[in-house]
Chain A
């Protein structure tokens, strides 16, 4: 659409220069971007989101006042991710480059191999019971190393709950930052990954990790 704003500069190329006329759409878009800033100042921004650059494409990152609440791979439609956040946390969801600046920078540094640990607080308040324990134990696995599903289940206090541990990791709302990619099968199998197995391999390679009982060999997923 080429509707223009109703100002007296509308008509004319005056002299040599064309007067710049901003369309109503462009003015509305610019005004819309200011809403998130004012919302944040007035304490009305419950969920702020933005996009971080990554080798996998743009990652949607969302934060609450408590901390990082979501990292979503680009194969999920942003609208669907946002709808779920609106339903589960608050419909006051706004895009805010400012409010997500820290996590976006940390992720970009991680992918540039300039960062090994994340400093942003993580909001796991939506994750219940055993799942939260599993994710907290997973957050302790250091950069470049791996643990087995049985390891994290044991550290979370239930050595037998290997399958439950796998389910909790599969539902990790903040992959990469809570490094569920560092959890693998006993015996050297890679197990699964919320973002797809290729990404798990890519992350482990980026960290220079080697799998236990795997002879330090290739991380290529096994064919079935």
Chain B
């Protein structure tokens, strides 16, 4: 049995134990702590263990012969980063004080286990299945414990279900197409490693890659709230109970990006560069950055603002995909991690504010910095990270994405053609304006909530010392990765873009 299998099953077993009557909080905390420490140990040992194919901790149980399906696990650098993100956010989410411990903890653990399974499996069938497993508690928690009137939260849950369900079906069609296309003539296989090898040795012509890539883009993209398939996301996060909002926006949503970067890109390396796909992608990601950015600017409540900002920031990750250079793709991996940590931190604080203050309407708040200096500092960490302040993790990822759009490394030539800037470059410039937009809404929010004179009748206190730990941990991770991006970059030394110079 591989370590990875144990890591995947610990959350499921803990959820089962809680369902059978084990003390909820204790079980959940122990399980998430064990997983956190274990994954950190694995990440440290990863460079020593990885094989020539860049996979470590591999194991495989065959389920079906034809088509070849196996419960196969194995971690490459990217899966390692995603696993780290998952256990980190799970730890913080479980630590949240909640009113119905068993229900909340079971759902958090199921989401966590599903996400770990999706990130650590190397078989397309199980990757897909684990993600679906993680989605179910997400819907249920929004519907049952959502922070809104019953009618409204049911509507939000349904909308989310329909969007994600439809996205998953499109995705399924795309994956099946990919399996048929890349199984190499013999029997069909869902083994991602074999599919990648086949795509590398006999790639499809670029024009033929385009439609399949686009199908996967729409399927995976819906899961990541790619414009215009995004309108489920903001209400879902604003309504979802805090741990679920943290886990879905921080971790589970990244599954779509993981799929695009680790399934679509290796199988169809030229797909995103075919002009019509690229143009569509650039337009859609500008929709995320500019349209949703302006919508975020218009929000009056903190939770709506954070939810929309999370949709907006996905645009930068799609920009990394559109640029498609080694620098940009590795930057995207950093940003995926950084965004997950920062948005989870912000939602955690937002949840606490909702419980204590009863309102998140920014016009009614003010001066919290005077009462709750600790929360103000950690919120500032999250807010400044999410607007790309250097020294915090998000900047390192964003700047690499931007740079990757302009040059493909020291050795090769410039990506700026003689006749002028390309559409990609103009998109980067508009995306940079999006960085200004995010600073405007984040600082407006910070100004309205934390600065100014304290409002009478509203009191917000710092959490008791035991509640500090997850917030401090997330903030410290943002700082550590922001100052030492090599902590994560060293895990992904192998090229992620097929055909790139190693």
Q: Check if A and B associate.
A: no
